Structure 1
Amino acid sequence: MDPTEFGAGSAPVELSHAVRESGTRDLWVPTLEESFPDGLESVKPVVVKKPATDHPRDIIDAPAVSLPPEGASYNPPVQAHNHLVLEAYAVEKRKQEELHNLASYREKIELAKENVGSAEDVPVGMTVDDGASDDEDEDEGELKGDAVVQKRKTAKKTKQQRARMMKLRAERQALAEKALRKRLLHGINSVKSLRSQIDKTAKVQVEARLARQLTTRLRLCKGLAGRKFGKHVVPESRVDVQTGEELSENLRSLKPEGNLFRDRFVSLQQRALVEPRVPVLPSKRRAKPILYEKHPYKRFQ
């Protein structure tokens, strides 16, 4: 067939589907399978998406190795050393107050346990009064029981009384509807002021929320020291300070202070790289180990 004579005949010639779709499909693009509903959407478990929240680790901007204060030097200035001593004193005073509050709370608990009565069939912590008041109530009831209480009979209302009551009820209902209509009209007139008041309240709430978020973010930038996560509290950096008598005059008589391993571990906890934990101290063995002599020692050669 001569390609120059294509379409010269009387028969209609149309392009095929492959020719029409040529150039529109990319072989390297993965094909997406169409999913058709099968009626089991309500039975299948719903996949919960993870909320897009910032991790504290991404917000914290505390240095890995914090520089010691100026007052912790081997030959510090007097003012810096005094400031560091006062800071250490404030920390120790706060710890002592916490211990004192805990001890007083435990004493109150012990006193409450001692004051609990030992009565039978009474739950712990419940106080039961004496039976004298019950006897007095019974005596009063017996005295009142002697007098016969006469019931007051209600007279039957007449037609005029019932009509008067219905009229009063209708008037009260009309007055209530009138007052309600008046309040509605007053509310319609004050829609603009109410809308502006609502907008102001919403704006104040948004500003307060943003201020709280900014304060929390700025606090997180310094680390998690002193904050409680779960059962434990993130420890704060320990203040190592020497008194005036312990200060050395030269580097030869300098005494090493602090613990580098402890400082690094506390820094990891403050930067949310390690979960806060409580140091586990080795416990002493309560039961004495029992030693047994085996029988083969008698057949020693």
Structure 2
Amino acid sequence: MAQVEKRVQPSRKGKKAWRKNIDMAPVDEALESLRVEERVRGEGTKIDDLFTIDTTGDLQVKRQLARDKPLKVDEILAERSAIPAIIARVKAANTEKKESKHDLQKVNKIAKRKRENAIPTTPKKKKKQVKEATYDMWGDDDTEQKEEEEEEDKTNGFLDVVKERKVKAPSTLQSKPAALIHKAPVQVPHAGASYNPTMEDHQQLLKEAMDIEVKQEEAKKKLNEQLAYRKELDQLKHELEESISNNDDEEEEEEEEEGDAKDSKSIKSKHEGVRKTKTQRNKEKRKRYNRMLEEQKLHERDIRKQIDRVKSIETELQEHIQKLEEAAEIRRQLKEEDKKRGAHRLGRHYVKEQPVAVQLQEELSETLRQLKPEGNNLRERFSSIQERNIIEPRVPITPFKKYKAKIYEKRSYKIFDSQQQQKQKQKQQQKNKNKK
């Protein structure tokens, strides 16, 4: 047989090679067959002409199926399970073979003969097995170890299956902040900030900037007053001297009062021992009883008044509840407005207010060429992102500087050093003398 030549796939690297080496023969053949069919028949064959769907069916097949259909009785019997029923009593499989009586008699005879001819032997004494201690008498109690073993038995030596828990994303991740939706990313500056503003707009913007500066100055002044030294402290010396002199006078008056009080106590102590009579005690008892009755009557009267005022109390209660609901609604609305304005606080820092970019009347330029730029675009963009609650406000952290350690010489070290220097000088002088 002649070997079929293996078709070599040409290179298709690049568009030129792909267009050059592509095989269009099967495509051309299919198109040519369509053209031939159109020439012969006039139009191409449709799918409905080639295939049909049988909806009626074949009568012969139906009759054949009706003949082969089993009887109803056979269907009911066939529905029974092919698996055998469970037997309550299970018989054990008897694998051991039973020996015959003849064989057992032979074995017994041989064993009897051996027993009669054998030398009687003394029975060996059983040795007592001493169990050694398997615990540390100086260690801890083994109750914990037993509990651990019991837990291991319960788990059958297997650990519980540990499932990896997915990290739950915060609910705020899916929702956008309200300030991002309601607040414009780029706010249009005030009309007075233009290079050629009207007099009214420019004065209005200057007033806003001045109000901010005044508030800052007042806050600084208040802080300086709190931290400053007060002149009232100079008058403390005179006040202390006056208070010391007043205290001496008060002590003298107190001593005199104590003396008078001692005299009055001595008089009262004489009457303290006097015992009350029965009539006095009964009188006090009646007073207490009458007072209790009056209090009870007043209490009952108050209850009757409250019962009569039930409807008015209900109306007052409803009015109070309505006021509380209105206050809660107002608070909720204010909260939503704050969120829309970007007043919602994300971190522990607040968003810094940007200074008002304004020029004085003398600094205003007549042309764009002479205009002095005000503000910073980068800072404005960054503060806008913070105000719209996209990122939390941050504060610049200054780097920590570790200063070099300063070295000081102690007095004792200085004295020791000077003594050592003197000794070295003396030794040098002695060496020079010896050389001479």
Equivalent of residue 263 in structure 1, options 380, 390, 394: 380
Alpha-carbon separation, structure 2, partners of 1:181 and 1:198: 23
Shift of 1:240: 0.3
Alpha-carbon separation, structure 2, partners of 1:158 and 1:106: 71
Matching of residues 1-301 of structure 1 within 5 Å: 2-5=74-77, 58-60=177-179, 61-107=182-228, 110-111=229-230, 129-130=243-244, 132-133=248-249, 135-137=251-253, 139-140=255-256, 143-144=259-260, 147=263, 149-151=266-268, 152-154=270-272, 155-224=274-343, 230=348, 232-279=349-396
Q: For each residue in 1:173-213, what CA deviation from the matched residue of structure 2 results, as whole angstroms up to 9, or x when unmatched? A: 22221221121122112112111111110110110121122
Report the TM-score, using the length of structure 1 for normalisation: 0.64
> Which residue of structure 2 aligns with residue 47 of structure 1?
none
Structure 1 residues 274 and 112, CA, compared in 2 at 3 Å: closer, same or farther?
Answer: farther
Structure 1 residues 191 and 214, CA, compared in 2 at 3 Å: closer, same or farther?
Answer: same
Alpha-carbon separation, structure 2, partners of 1:218 and 1:86: 26
Q: What is the SS of the residue equivalent to 1:76? A: coil
Structure 1 residues 59 and 112, CA, compared in 2 at 3 Å: closer, same or farther?
Answer: farther
Supply the AA of the counterpart residue of 1:59: A
Alpha-carbon separation, structure 2, partners of 1:216 and 1:56: 17
Alpha-carbon separation, structure 2, partners of 1:78 and 1:194: 62
Shift of 1:83: 1.0
Supply the AA of the counterpart residue of 1:153: H
Q: What is the SS of the residue equivalent to 1:249? A: coil
Shift of 1:286: 7.8
Alpha-carbon separation, structure 2, partners of 1:101 and 1:85: 24
Which structure has more relative contact order (CA 8 Å, sep 6+)? It is 1
Alpha-carbon separation, structure 2, partners of 1:55 and 1:96: 44
Structure 1 residues 81 and 192, CA, compared in 2 at 3 Å: closer, same or farther?
Answer: same
Q: For each residue in 1:141-199, what CA deviation from the matched residue of structure 2 results, as whole angstroms up to 9, or x when unmatched? A: 67548847322515323223322322232222222212211211221121121111111
Aligned length: 238
Supply the AA of the counterpart residue of 2:316: Q
Supply the AA of the counterpart residue of 1:3: E
Structure 1 residues 145 and 77, CA, compared in 2 at 3 Å: closer, same or farther?
Answer: closer
Structure 1 residues 237 and 115, CA, compared in 2 at 3 Å: closer, same or farther?
Answer: same
Q: Kindly name which structure, 1 or 2, has the bigger radius of gyration based on alpha carbons.
A: 2
CA contact (8 A) 2:193 2:357 kept: yes
Q: Percent identity?
A: 31
